[in-house]
């Protein structure tokens, strides 16, 4: 009986904690066709402007002509972009190894790329994500879990070709670095690399 109750509670909380909304979306297909349509996204019940990227990273639910709903596999999408419910422009591209899921492009510079992969959690209807930094010049990258940030030690190793980056990374007070701090570090690295070329 406890087993059934537990299963019921998991499904019930998943249902309760996620709601759906629509956003205008621009989709570029693998055949380079452009679709301007509406996309159904899941949002958090308690933070209704928080869109779950995991709700469309493998299958995109779109609303076409005459309000007809359909699904489009991520493998058919090259790029997807929309303005989220907070007014922020977001870009997702099909750059996963298996080409079956969309990754959010957080940063795309001359030297570095930063991507985020969303996946849903089985409990509570939430989501987690993994981030990936990639150096286009050296062809090396590192992955890390977004929730925990990236440890400074791992970041120093990634940027070891620019010795002055150690001081930039150490300037942060926290043991791990998150979005705002990460972006400023990436911009500083880009600046140093472009000066040296």
Phi, psi of 38 (to 5 degrees): -115, 145
51: closest CA among 20, 75, 81? 20
| Eight-state DSSP code of residue 197 | -
In a domain, 141, yes or no: yes
In a domain, 167, yes or no: no
In a domain, 110, yes or no: yes
| Eight-state DSSP code of residue 164 | T
In a domain, 156, yes or no: no
CA-based radius of gyration for the chain:
19
In a domain, 101, yes or no: yes
Residue 149 pLDDT: 65
101: closest CA among 119, 74, 82? 74
Per-residue pLDDT of the chain (197 residues; tens, 9 = 90+): 666 555 555 455 555 545 999 999 999 999 999 999 999 999 988 889 999 999 898 999 999 888 999 999 999 999 999 999 999 999 999 987 778 899 999 999 999 999 999 988 776 667 888 999 999 999 999 988 766 667 788 889 999 999 999 998 888 766 556 677 889 899 999 999 988 87
Residue 20 pLDDT: 93
Beta carbons of 130 and 143 less than 8 angstroms apart: yes
In a domain, 188, yes or no: no
Beta carbons of 51 and 41 less than 8 angstroms apart: yes
Range of the domain at 9: 2-148
Q: How many domains does the chain have?
A: 1
In a domain, 191, yes or no: no
Residue 123 pLDDT: 64
21: closest CA among 82, 77, 107, 111? 82
* Length of the chain measured in residues: 197
In a domain, 123, yes or no: yes
Residue 42 pLDDT: 92
- CA 47, CA 59: separation in Å to the nearest integer? 23
């Amino acid at each position: 009986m406890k087993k059934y109750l537990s299963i019921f509670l998991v499904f019930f909380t998943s249902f309760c904690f996620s709601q759906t909304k629509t956003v205008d979306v621009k989709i570029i297909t693998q055949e380079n066709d452009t679709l301007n349509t509406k996309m159904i996204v899941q949002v958090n019940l308690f933070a209704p402007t928080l869109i779950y990227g995991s709700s469309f990273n493998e299958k995109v639910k779109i609303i076409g002509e005459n309000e007809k709903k359909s699904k489009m596999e991520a493998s058919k999408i090259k790029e997807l972009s929309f303005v989220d419910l907070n007014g922020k422009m977001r870009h997702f591209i099909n750059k996963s190894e298996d080409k079956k899921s969309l990754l959010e492009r957080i940063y795309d510079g001359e030297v570095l790329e930063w991507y985020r992969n969303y996946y849903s959690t089985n409990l509570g209807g939430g989501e987690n994500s993994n981030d990936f930094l990639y150096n286009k010049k050296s062809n090396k990258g590192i992955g890390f879990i977004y929730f925990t940030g990236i440890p400074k030690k791992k970041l120093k190793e990634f940027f070891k070709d620019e010795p002055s980056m150690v001081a930039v990374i150490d300037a942060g007070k926290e043991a791990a670095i998150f979005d705002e701090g990460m972006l400023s570090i990436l911009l500083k690295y880009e600046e140093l690399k472009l000066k040296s070329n």
